Amino acid sequence: MKIKSLLLIGALFAVGCSAPKEDQIDKRVNDLLGKMTLEEKIGQMNQVSGGYQFIDQIAAGNIGSILNIVDPVEVNAVQKAAVEQSRLGIPLLVSRDVIHGFRTIFPIPLGMAATFNPEIVEKGARIAAIEATASGVRWTFSPMLDIARDSRWGRVAEGSGEDPYLDVQMGVAMVKGYQGDNYADPTSLAACVKHFVGYGAAEGGRDYNTAMISERALRNTYFPAFKACVEAGALTLMTSFNDVDGLPSTGNDWLLTDILRGEWGFDGMVVTDWNSSGELVSHGYAEDLKDATALSVNAGVDMDMMSFGFVQHIKALVEEGRISEKTIDNAVRNILRLKFRLGLFENPYVDETLAAKVAYAPEHLEAAKQCATESVILLQNNNNTLPLKSAKTILVTGPMADAPYDQLGTWAFDGEEQHTVTPLDALKNDYKVIYEPGLGYSRDNNTSGIAAAKAAARRADAVVVFVGEEAILSGEAHCLSQLNLQGAQSKLIAAMKATGKPVVVVVIAGRMLTIEKDMAQCDAMLYSLHPGTMGGAAIADLITGRAVPSGKSPMTFLRDAGQAPFYYNHPMTGRPNNGTETLLNDIPIKAGQTSLGCTSYYLDSGYGPHLPFGYGLSYTTFEYSDITLDKQQYAADDTIVVEYTLANTGSYDATEVVQLYVRDLVGSVVRPVKELKGFERVALKAGETKRCRFELPVSELAYWNRDMKYVVEPGKFQLWVAGDSASGEAHSFEVK
């Protein structure tokens, strides 16, 4: 089903919702702003969590936005108070954390990134918008664009991983999907790009902590996805909890005014994260809530989420001259512009019967299943264990085999577990299933159930072990110092291996775990990043062979958590490892201080990761050959044309995610060892060969250089076309 067909559902909402022109909107905004008292302006800048309990304040014009109500009846009731009882009739903006689906839950965003398929990600966001707006929600706090290079940080689940290019593609796809082609269409859900900025670089992978990032690193790594989403029309932006170089983002005028408004020309609305204005006091950046309010508003924040400082203190701050009323007018102008763009003045109410009609629509479930299928990564398949075509009876075991709540993952507030298809449910359609869970939940250390699972394996042709993480173990404030499987899950896998039966392990988790030792205890391993409502059906299709894995890792798999942060596109060091490592157990007694080579690696875990960024196997094999560039020297305004031949040399029809990497060999500042610059999903029949191409504008080789200028520096480059970030042969070219 094409994305356009989903838009037909919007006809259920309203007829005649053409988008007003921007000049008309600006006139209406200014006319309305001229009628407002200072108190009414402040009210528009106030967002609260709840509904009915705030009806009187809404009617008084003291609230501009509410979050966390999804009952259409309640939404209409509070909206009526705003539209029909307040003096100026300004509608409320109703918001919700719709992160990877509303009722129909798609894989967590990290899982969606593993598809390397912006089209299915856009479709998922469009479906989320259709279902959420049917309940009256018109604003979501997504997508999260935080580059994350440390799996200890729980919020890696909410983003697209470690690579800026992939982050751009996934972020733009989600913005387009949420907002659709017409902001005023009642199915348009305003996107909120977050968290601005550097939140994913929190020190030690601990949530809310400081991030030390240079301006150059911000511009080269952390800004690109935000800038791209602003250019794609994202309507709102959220500040981050963390500080960058000592400046908390919610009070950072360089970020919010100079960069966002000045350089990028953003005319949308900026909202704090939950109480992030009030937390300026906890940071030691503000003396009290009043001071925090002044710092936030003057930095460029338009709306306050749940600190209540704006509504309590702005009036006095204006009277004292610490905030100008012009600054307040600019903030309110941004809020009103958003409400006019969304058509809320024309269509403030929602059809109270609609939510039940669109939730879990067959085409929504079909798309969720496709996304889940494409998100699963095949990490290992010894002796072609998968698919399980000859098995008739299988043992299904492990705490994640039938965990409908946890399968939905973090931030699935409105997903309903009774609609979840678990792997246990789905596999019963294809095999005679013996089910012995072995463990009650992922952190369970009670091993008494493992013996029953081991005994049951004798009656099975193969064993499928479902392990991983409960939903509560990832997401906001759910950070870990160790990334191994929790509880006795590794013991369960080892016990199944000891039975001598073929063992398939399926990991269902919210981050990249350290599973190298567990891979040694199984014949095949599939990795699924909390796959959502239809995850079980997707996994069953992969196990049976009805579908072939095509997912690729959006983050590096580590050997040990002590390697974090670790990412493929790191800067080159002066003493790079050359592949020679002397590890702990191989060091001679009384070895000389410099005898181990003096290169960059760990004595205990070596230099490289367990598995690289972009990694993922298939049931077939792919062969790359005849990689050519159209020429060897390019000018700054040229386009590099790269052609390659891809052959499916196995026996399954399958899709390969082909990846294009580039390295700038010499720069005015140290450059990354590799950078992703393109990817495409190429579907081939068994035995089919296809000639394909990438077109890479030389301008995309630009970066912020020593002089803090965004330029393409002339020099020598290398280029790879491969199936992951560690494969392929380098091809040289030069930019003159």
In whole angstroms, what is the distance from residue 530 CA to residue 510 CA?
Answer: 6
In whole angstroms, what is the distance from residue 680 CA to residue 693 CA?
Answer: 10
In whole angstroms, what is the distance from residue 545 CA to residue 686 CA?
Answer: 14
In whole angstroms, what is the distance from residue 345 CA to residue 20 CA?
Answer: 11
Helix (H/G/I), strand (E/B), else coil: 564 = coil
Q: Sign (positive/negative) of CA torsion 130, 134, 135, 138?
A: positive
Check: CB of residue 330 under 8 Å from CB of residue 288.
no
In whole angstroms, what is the distance from residue 187 CA to residue 191 CA?
Answer: 12
- 414 classed as catalytic: no
ω into 387 cis (within 30 of 0): yes
In whole angstroms, what is the distance from residue 203 CA to residue 150 CA?
Answer: 9
Secondary structure (DSSP) of 512-562: ----HHHHTT-SEEEEEE---TTHHHHHHHHHHTSS------SSPBPSSGG
Q: Which helix (H) or strand (E) covers residue 489, if one does?
A: helix 489-497
Q: How many CA atoms lie within 13 A of 63 on its CB side?
A: 27
Question: In 186-341, where do the E strands start and end?
Answer: 192-196, 236-239, 243-244, 247-248, 269-271, 304-305
Selected catalytic residue, list 146, 163, 207, 273 = 273
Return the structure tokens found at 449: 């159930």
Radius of gyration, alpha carbons of the chain = 27
ω into 437 cis (within 30 of 0): no
Helix (H/G/I), strand (E/B), else coil: 252 = coil
Q: What is the DSSP letter of 92?
A: P
Q: What is the DSSP letter of 211?
A: B
Check: CB of residue 78 under 8 Å from CB of residue 92.
yes
In whole angstroms, what is the distance from residue 200 CA to residue 403 CA?
Answer: 29
Check: CB of residue 369 under 8 Å from CB of residue 524.
no
Alpha-carbon dihedral angle through residues 275, 281, 287, 289, given to the nearest 10 degrees: 20
Alpha-carbon dihedral angle through residues 357, 363, 366, 367, given to the nearest 10 degrees: -100
Q: How many CA atoms lie within 13 A of 249 on its CB side?
A: 30
Q: Sign (positive/negative) of CA torsion 394, 398, 399, 405?
A: negative
Task: List residues bridging with 503 in a β-sheet.
Answer: 463
| Helix 450-457 vs helix 489-497: crossing angle, to nearest 10 | 20
Phi and psi at 505, nearest 5°, equal: -105, 130
Task: List residues bridging with 527 in a β-sheet.
Answer: 377, 507
Neighbours of 595 (CB within 10 A): 11
Q: Sign (positive/negative) of CA torsion 673, 665, 661, 118?
A: positive
Question: For residue 574, what are the contacts with CB-CB under 8 A and spacing of at least 6?
Answer: none
Question: In 539-674, where do the E strands start and end?
Answer: 622-629, 633-634, 639-648, 654-664
Please identify which residue in the block is written with the tokens 């003291």: 62
In whole angstroms, what is the distance from residue 240 CA to residue 252 CA?
Answer: 10
**CA-to-CA separations, 394 to 434, 455, 465, 544, in angstroms, rounded:** 6, 13, 10, 12
* Helices vs strands, H then E, count in the chain: 23, 26
Q: Which residues are catalytic?
A: 273
